[in-house]
Structure 1
Amino acid sequence: MYVLRAAKEAGIPVRIAHSHIANPSLSIKTPFRIYTKLLLRRYSTHNFACSIMAGKWLFGKKNTSSPNFYLVRNAIYSTKYLFDEKIRIEIRNTFNIEKEFVFLHVGRFVKQKNHIFLLNFFVRFHQKYPNSKLWLIGEGPLKKEVEHKIMKLGIIDSVELLGVRENVNQFMMAADCLLFPSIFEGLGIVAVEAQTSGMLTIVSNNIPVEANISSLFHQLPLDVEKWVSEVEYLLEYERGKENVASQSGYDVKETASWLQNFYLENFL
């Protein structure tokens, strides 16, 4: 808000605010957020958001119907995520995975990503299906808490903490199901990437509808037993082979072209 206000005072004609998150949680910062959000709308000329939910959170419901509001998709290099059987075998061999069913989560170890629910689901599923594994990609301040929970649940031999990885796309090819139980998200780009890799994608009801780009997407309330039942029902799913990101407007080339044209039309 302060940057946009300074830009307006400096006479800059085009001032874009871009919302990437929808955070309904309350904290000591909430009154400050409300105050700055109200002023931000006064100083921006164009409002971008990665989802309608993210747009409503920052700009208000009324403003998402404004002609100055734009839904700008968080695009990916879609071809990078297309399923490759050879890569799948290589990664699984590295971790001595043969016929095990592998769950994957990608995200920072923070409250928003809901790792405790994730582990509670996995231990329940693992009790019924011991031939299952869980891979966790990411780092963050709650990692020690997650490690302690893994030890307490007795699943240390079935959970891999993989840290930060540059080849997340390859782990998506190697895994069988993405778990994404976030408490809130602006979009959930990981869910888009997972579906593009042809992987079963189970998400919470807190994920914006824009992340639903294929029949692989399954959205559920945060209830462990419902998640277990859903995955059981879908265990024999057929891996997708189409570029669903490109078909849904999430390819980076398409978004880059749109953004370039937007800048040219508004600045020149």
Structure 2
Amino acid sequence: MSEPIRVLQVVTYMGRGGLETMLMNYYRNIDRDKVQFDFLTHRDERWDYDDEIESLGGKIYHLPKLNPFSKNYLNALDKFFKEHKEYQIVHCHQDCLSGVVLKVAKKNGVRFTIAHSHNANQDKNLKYLIKVFEKRKIPKYADKLFACGDEAGRWMFNTDDFEVLNNAIDTDLYAYNKEKADKVKKEFGIENKFVVGHVGRFNPQKNHEFLIDVFNEIQKVKEDSVLMLVGDGDLRPEIEKKVRDLGLSDKVIFTGVRSDVNDLMQGMDVFLFPSLYEGLGIVLIEAQAAGLKCIISDNIPKDGVLTDDVTCISLTQSPIVWANEILKYQEYKRANNKEIIKKANYDIKNNAKKLEQFYIENARG
């Protein structure tokens, strides 16, 4: 048997974020006898998915933090590609800075390069201005442009010449199961509670400050409500302090990073997603697959709205308005949305087969 094509996935690190979870969904479902993933990361630490990557046959390489103005970084990147001529395909997930990596890859003879957009915006600071300048270079060095949705593609590439690669999921894992829901509620001691849930990194984009304000209004009306926050991140201590200051510590559950998000969603009653922006929001696809009522901000691209379970509200509306909308769904009857998600082409098995074939065709030249 011939060796598989090895595709280099360039990322920041492989924690349990949206793009990383999307990559792992594809990695688990491709035929690894034909296509194998390796990962070039920009952190020294080990992360959540590293053990699984290595168990699946993937290699993990480490570089310093990506800095387009650092000679040390650029020299390290150049050295890496000089020493690793085995990669015919490089698939870069570094958003606006993807051109930095792909330029060096092309210089060192990589046959086929891919830039992949996972966001439709960035936090606006000095780094944002640098990234906006850098993203103009991406089409020059990328042979293929992928995006998680239409808005993410247009924002990143300033062209319609890109292809949407769906943030597909394993629908079997998320289909609503009452036994699992009861088990989760028992685990956390929240039986007979109204559970509002959220999954996401604690960073400005996810808007946790507003999320806590909304829940504070919910619990004023419905005392037996709880908030489940799944994830971790730099802003978690600030949010924990806000929860304490509002006297909500006994009503807010910080689960940390979990490998069983599909099960935790079974135990939620409403999914709250007030992000300032998203490329798509893979957790929104997951929540709909779980049959959850989803209350989301109108800043989230509509590409990810696949069912009638989603209600969009403007972030200009007050937390009270959001809370009142959520409280309408205390007795929401959850449906099995598996076939709807599949029909919308968000099931991982079909999507993984297409990506696998894409890699094979382009590795041949």
Q: How high is the TM-score relative to the length of structure 2?
A: 0.69
State the distance in 1 between where 2:253 and 2:268 align: 12
Structure 2: where are the runs of 5+ without partners? 1-98
Q: Does 1:259 align with 2:358?
A: no
Q: Does 1:180 pair with 2:278?
A: no
Question: For this pair of structures, how many residues does the alignment match?
Answer: 263
Match of 1:235 among 312, 322, 330: 330
RMSD of aligned residue pairs (Cα, Å): 1.5
Shift of 1:34: 2.1
Give the equivalent residue in structure 2 for 1:154: 247
- Are residues 1:193 and 2:291 paired? no
Q: 2:143 aligns with which of 32, 42, 45?
A: 45
Match of 1:3 among 94, 101, 111: 101
Alpha-carbon separation, structure 2, partners of 1:25 and 1:97 = 35
Deviation, structure 1 residue 30: 2.6
Q: Which amino acid aligns with 1:205?
A: D
The equivalent residue for 1:113 is 206
Which of 204, 215, 232 matches 1:139?
A: 232
- How far does the alpha carbon of each residue in 1:15-52 deviate from its partner, in whole angstroms, 9 at most, with x for none? 21111112243211133212211111211121000011
CA deviation profile, 1:223-255 (whole Å, cap 9, x unmatched) = 213212221333332201130322221111111
Q: Which residue of 1 aligns with 2:163?
A: 70
Q: 1:125 aligns with which of 218, 225, 230?
A: 218
Task: Structure 1: state its 5+ residue gaps.
Answer: none
In 2, Cα distance between equivalents of 1:24 and 1:162: 27
Instruction: Output the CA distance in 1 between the equivalents of 2:198 and 2:114.
Output: 32
Give the letter aligned to residue 188 of structure 2.
F
Distance 2:253 2:341 in 1: 28
In the aligned structure 2, how far is the partner of 1:128 from the partner of 1:19?
A: 41
Paired with 1:44 and 1:251, the residues of 2 have a C-alpha distance of 27
How far did residue 155 of structure 1 move?
Answer: 1.2
User: What does residue 123 of structure 2 align with?
Assistant: 25
User: Structure 1-normalised TM-score?
Assistant: 0.93
Q: Which moved more, 1:102-111 or 1:258-267?
A: 258-267
SS in 1 for 2:126: coil
Quick one: distance in 1 between partners of 2:139 and 2:220? 51
Larger RCO, structure (CA 8 Å, separation 6 or more): 1
Q: Which moved more, 1:178-187 or 1:257-266?
A: 257-266
| Separation in 1, partners of 2:227, 2:278 | 22
Instruction: State the distance in 2 between where 1:189 and 1:31 align.
Output: 26
Query: What is aligned with 1:54?
Result: 152
- Distance (whole Å) between structure 1 residues aligned to residue 259 and residue 363 of structure 2: 36
Is 1:247 the counterpart of 2:247? The answer is: no
Task: Indicate the percent of aligned positions where both proteins have the same amino acid.
Answer: 37
Alpha-carbon distance between aligned partners in 1 of 2:236 and 2:311, rounded to the nearest angstrom: 27
Distance, in Å, in 1 between the alignment partners of 2:346 and 2:333 is: 22
| Whole-Å separation in 1 of the counterparts to 2:297 and 2:115 | 27
State the SS of the aligned residue for 1:125. helix
1:90-123 deviation per Cα after TM superposition (whole angstroms, max 9, x unaligned):
1111222232110111111111111110100001
Deviations along 1:54-101, one digit per CA (max 9) or x if unpaired, are: 1112101xx12x2xx100001111111111111111111122223211
Partners of 1:31 and 1:167 in 2: CA distance: 37
Q: What amino acid sits opposite 1:207 in the alignment?
A: I
Tell me, yes or no, if the aligned pair for 2:218 and 2:324 is still in contact at 8 Å: no
Matches within 5 A, 1:91-102: 91-102=184-195
